[in-house]
Amino acid sequence: MCQITSQNDVIPKEDCRLRYPYLSIIKSVGKSCMKCQEPATVVARLHDPFCRNCFLVYFTHRFRATFGKSKAVRNGEKVLIAFSGGHSSCTMLHLVKEGLAEGVHKKLRYQPGVVYVDENVCLEQDKEERSAQMRKIETWLKESTFPSYVTCIEEVMSKCSPGYRLISGDQSHDSEDGHDNPPTENSMKEEFKQLLENTSSLTTKEDLIQKLRLKLLKQIAKQLGYTKIMFGDSGTRLATVLLGNLAKGHGETVHQDMSFLDTRGEEVAIIRPMREFTSKEIALFSHQCCLQPVFIPRISTKASRLASIDTLTEDFVNGLQSNFPATVTTVLKTGAKLTSDEETIGKRHTCVLCQSPVDSSSSASSASAATQYSMSLRKSSTVYSSSSSEPEAACEVARDNASCCGEGDESCQSAKKNEELTSADLSVVMCYGCQVMMRDVKSLDRLPSSVLADVQRQKRRDEMRLEIEDFLLDGSEEG
Amino acid sequence: MPVACRMCGGPAVLKRPKTGDAVCKDCFFYAFENEVNYTITNGNLFKRGDRVAVGASGGKDSTVLAYILKLLNERHDYGIELILLSVDEGITGYRDDSLETVKRNQHQYDLPLKIVSYEDLYGWTMDAIVKQIGLKNNCTFCGVFRRQALDRGAMLLKANKIATGHNADDIAETVLMNVLRGDIARLRRCTAITTGAEGGLPRCKPLKYTYEKEIVMYAYFKKLDYFSTECIYSPNAYRGHARTYLKDLERIRPSSIIDLIHSGESLSIKKDVKMPVQGTCTRCGYISSNAICKACTLLEGLNKGLPKLAIGKSNKSRRLLDAASQSSDSTNEKTSPKEKKKDVTF
């Protein structure tokens, strides 16, 4: 069925043994492979020893079966592979390349492209190290033989379409306009840096980078004509994402953050074929095939356990997984049983940052109502009814930039005059989780212009709707 | 330079964990009490004339709950009758001390008190149970028995509602636990503020949105007396992992607790997922999703010397039990050996 031959390895086997001499002396773990009874070399899950070949076959088979089962990708579809240089991405790229190689029996043929997002602006690195890393990345991209592109994360701040660089093109691809937009403009770098500096917590920084990266990838995919993006998130990573997102208030959409097919957002969908594997299995596979991932540090690399919600959750899941090996699979299975509230989904707005439905003002007793009540209590107290010593501006905008509109009864008009984004606007255009995240961002107008434009558009649509509300027949319109 | 209270401008004495505001003592009491009142009125927890059994363990949650329900009942005229209900699990060194606290509360708040014990209801104390089954999985026994004990006690008192002191941290922990354990049925129910309304007494959680730290602060500043030790059997509980994670989350971002509850409330389950159906236990008549309720199964196991019955995947012992029960009574149940009943512990 699936044959692993040495010419599909990234590095020929002979070199592999020179570099890793111990591979030729296979230390048997004292068990025999559960398939072929040869001496085993890896133990992927608790009671499953495999020899090298059977493990590679098993792994590859599961990767392809995930595609086949879900029927998400059709023949001839253009799929963009998001490559980060880590173990998961390299494994995924390797498997895709192998799967589509000539001479391999398969039913599914899709057209992949590869894109790498350069995040140097988040964590400035030493120039030499940086060029060494970029060389390795470009080697990976060129060896994949698929059309490959490199873009920078600050391109998401661009006022028109984001730019990217072509590394290796597919000769049969028709050249269209905008095929090779060289990323320019240091001003975008500055804007992005400003956005990050205005964010007080590491959790929010990580979240913003992740959401903006996704936005950028979707824009580029759309530009280049790709209908799907493939991410290499492992099962362990997705379990971490699920728990982390629960803690951040994204409850309604956690199931989409970790499902195989994520169809939020209009034209471009996301697929996650590596979700069946734990990070341990991926590392074992990558090691067995002598793949060479590129390590690029991020803002949370080597951060302490309590630095951000993501680092804490990762530590938590890994700790539990070592004692209770079924943790990751159970969490993923639980997530797979969840769904969104189907009845109201068509009537609600879409969050401008994460494309999830904005939470509706919900039932009688809810956490968001309780929080709003607590916030409202701040301003009133019957204990001291006389006026306090200095008049405090009730409105946050006025306190910040002294452009008080003079209303004074909490119906702030200054935002309307300045077309600025206030926190009152956010509750309409952002989901609960993103609102919580935005509390850490000091000035909301540092967000990318595409996001701000979406907000304004939504506000105008709401005003339009308000005008014609009496004459609309059924609430079956999209939000 | 003294920090000013966010609400009234006077000197602040504490920082609210929930909102991060610096407030003075009286403003804190005001905010806390009004939030609980809001939860009660908004959730329609009580009606005029209700007889409410307040689960009282002597710990901080139940002490503050009893105090605040009495206070708000008088202040806002809910018109409810309050009775303290306490459960004696028979854990020496823990429960007998906290029961003394409950008796003191009875005098301090001037509320009637009823104590029910596992010994009377089931014939087993927790100490005896732990001696039989060891230190793992004993929280299962205690939890299942306590739920029934509360219901039975409340029925004896002719109460029509139960109020427990579960706080925001407890609910958030429960959401996490249910995700980690894959218990989809409980995941849907655990964030409801009133549960069990169909069959059995409805039980509500007036302190659902109050942080544990704020409860401690309230008790401290109001000089309320409570007993604060961990159950001696708790260090090995799985819940401890979720609790540590939650405490750390709170340190990173204090609003995470409420955010977790919000996430839990927003979850919906796919329609094709198999859910347990509610019925009644054939032995004791209590509500149950299986033919025999969990408490009866656990008791059967203890009495027959099969302590692991109903803990974990129990095909074998379930078959044993059914074989034994088929020979003794005439129920027609057939459990096919292939039927996999995943017994969840929490």
Does residue A307 surpass a pLDDT of 60? yes
Q: Do B260 and A370 touch (CB under 8 A)?
A: no
**A124 and chain B in contact, CB less than 8 A:** no
User: Measured between CB atoms, which of B42, B181, B259 is closest to A365?
Assistant: B42
pLDDT band at residue A394 under the 50/70/90 scheme:
very low
Residue A116's alpha-carbon distances to A80, A97, A216, A257, in angstroms, are: 10, 16, 11, 21
pLDDT averaged over every residue in chain A = 78
**Interchain pair A337, B269: CB under 8 A:** yes
Q: Is B17 left (phi over 0), alpha (psi -120 to 50) or beta?
A: alpha
Over the stretch B194-215, which tens digit does the pLDDT of each residue have?
A: 887 666 689 999 999 999 999 9
Tokens of A441: 């961002």
Question: Taking a C-beta distance cutoff of 8 angstroms, is the pair A81, A96 a contact?
Answer: yes
Find the closest chain A residue to B266 by CA distance: A252
Contact between residue B209 and residue B258 where contact means Cβ atoms under 8 Å apart: yes
Report the Cα A347 to chain-centroid distance in Å: 26
> Hey, is the C-beta of B75 within 8 angstroms of any chain A C-beta?
no
Residue B37 has pLDDT above 90, yes or no: yes
Which residues of A are less than 8 Å from B248 in CB distance? Answer: 305-306, 312
Q: Under a CB-based contact definition with an 8 Å cutoff, are residues B215 and B36 in contact?
A: no
Cα(A37)–Cα(B119) distance, rounded to whole angstroms? 56
Question: pLDDT value at position A341?
Answer: 74
Q: Cα separation of B106 and B96, whole Å?
A: 16
Spatial separation of the C-alpha atoms in residues A407 and B10, rounded to whole Å: 27
Residues of A in contact with B19 (CB under 8 A): 374-375, 378
| Structure-token pair, residue A434 | 């993103």
Any bridge partners for residue A149, and if so which?
A: A115, A166
Note whether B30 contacts A313, CB cutoff 8 Å.
no
Residue bearing the bigger pLDDT, B64 or A392? B64
Interface test with A, best of B6, B207, B259, B261 (most A CBs within 10 A): B259
Task: Please state the ipTM of this predicted complex.
Answer: 0.81
- Hey, what are A272's tokens? 């996650």
Count other Cβ atoms within 10 Å, centred on residue A344. 14
* Structure confidence at residue A29 (pLDDT): 53
Can you read off the two tokens belonging to residue A346? 């068509």
In one letter, which amino acid is A281? E
- Contact assessment for residue B85 and residue B92, using Cβ atoms and an 8 Å cutoff: no
Q: Is B273 on the interface with A (CB under 8 A)?
A: yes
Q: Which stretch, A6-20, A368-382, B135-149, B251-265, has highest mean pLDDT?
A: B251-265
Which of A173-187, B11-25, B66-80: highest mean pLDDT?
A: B66-80
Helices A367-377/B256-266 angle, 10° precision? 140
Please determine, for residue B176, whether its predicted confidence score (pLDDT) is greater than 50.
yes
Q: How confident is the model at residue B311 (pLDDT cuts 50, 70, 90)?
A: low
Closest CA to B100 of B82, B112, B88: B88
Examine the pLDDT at A4 and tell me if it is beyond 80. no
Whether residue A365 and residue B43 make contact (CB cut-off 8 A), yes or no, is yes
A344 in reach of chain B (CB within 8 A) = no
Domains and CATH numbers, chain B: 27-265 (3.40.50.620), 279-335 (no CATH)
The reported pLDDT for the residue numbered A179 is: 41
pLDDT digits (tens, 9 = 90+) for A417-435: 445 666 667 777 888 888 8
State phi, psi for A269 to the nearest 5 degrees.
Answer: -105, 165
pLDDT digits (tens, 9 = 90+) for A102-114: 656 666 788 899 9
The residues with which B159 forms a beta bridge, in sequence order, are none
Partner A, chain B 93-132, Cβ-Cβ below 8 Å? none
At B171 the pLDDT is: 93
Rounded to two decimals, the pTM is 0.82
Q: What's the CA gap between B310 and B157, in Å, rounded?
A: 31
What count of CB pairs under 8 Å joins A to B? Answer: 160
A268-291 tens-digit pLDDT: 899 999 998 999 899 989 988 888
CA–CA gap between residue A239 and residue A241 (Å, rounded): 5
Helices B256-266/A235-248 angle, 10° precision: 110
Whether residue A364 lies within 8 A of chain B, CB to CB, comes out as yes
CA dist., res. A262 & res. A272, Å (int): 8
Distance, in Å, from the CA atom of B27 to the CA atom of B6, rounded to the nearest integer, reads 9
Of B18, B187, B253, the CB nearest to A309: B253
Statement: residue B68 has pLDDT above 60:
yes
Q: Which of B267, B271, B272, B345 to probe the A interface (max A CBs under 10 A)?
A: B267
Q: Give contacts of B18 with chain A, Cβ < 8 Å.
A: 374
Task: Kindly report the nearest CA distance between residue B181 and chain A, in angstroms.
Answer: 7
- Across the interface, whether the CB atoms of B39 and A370 are under 8 A apart is answered yes
Q: Is B275 on the interface with A (CB under 8 A)?
A: no
Is the separation of the CB atoms in A275 and A235 below 8 Å? yes
Cβ separation B270–A337 shorter than 8 A: yes
**Are B90 and B123 in contact, with CB atoms under 8 Å apart?**
no
CB-CB neighbors (< 8 A) of B175 in chain A: 246
C-alpha distances (whole Å) from B235 to each of B130, B135, B137, B239, B243 are 14, 9, 11, 9, 11
If you count them, how many residues does chain B have?
346
Indicate the range of A174-183, A249-258, A455-464 predicted with least confidence. A174-183
> How many residues are present in chain A?
479
Q: Provide the shortest C-alpha distance from residue A331 to chain B (in Å).
A: 6
Taking alpha carbons only, the member of B174, B140, B160 closest to residue B260 is B174
Q: With an 8 Å Cβ cutoff, is A205 touching chain B?
A: no
Contact A365 B39 (CB under 8 A): yes
Q: What is the pLDDT of residue A426?
A: 75
**Separation CA A144–CA A465 (nearest Å):** 50
What whole-number distance in Å separates Cα of residue A383 and Cα of residue B8? 8
Give B195→chain A minimum CA distance, Å: 13
What would the two tokens of residue A151 be?
């873009």
Closest partner residue to A309 among B42, B252, B266, by Cβ?
B252
Other C-beta atoms closer than 10 Å to the C-beta of B11 total 12
Tell me, rounded to whole angstroms, the distance of Cα B208 from its chain centroid.
Answer: 11
Six-digit token pair at B256?
A: 């995470």
Three-class SS string for chain B? CCCECCCCCCECCEECCCCCCEECHHHHHHHHHHHHHHHHHHCCCCCCCCEEEEECCCCHHHHHHHHHHHHHHHHHCCCCEEEEEEEECCCCCCHHHHHHHHHHHHHHHCCCEEEEEHHHHHCCCHHHHHHHHCCCCHHHHHHHHHHHHHHHHHHHCCCCEEECCCCHHHHHHHHHHHHHHCCHHHHHHCCCCEECCCCCCCEECCCCCCCHHHHHHHHHHCCCCCCCCCCCCHHHCCHHHHHHHHHHHHHHCCCHHHHHHHHHHHCEECCCCCCCCCEECCCCCCEECCCCCHHHHHHHHHHHCCCCCCCCCCHHHHHHHHHHHHHHCCCCCCCCCCCCCCCCCC
Q: What is the 3-state secondary structure (H, E, C) of A398-445?
A: HHHHCCCCCCCCCCCCHHHHHCCCCHHHHHHHCCHHHHHHHCCECCHH
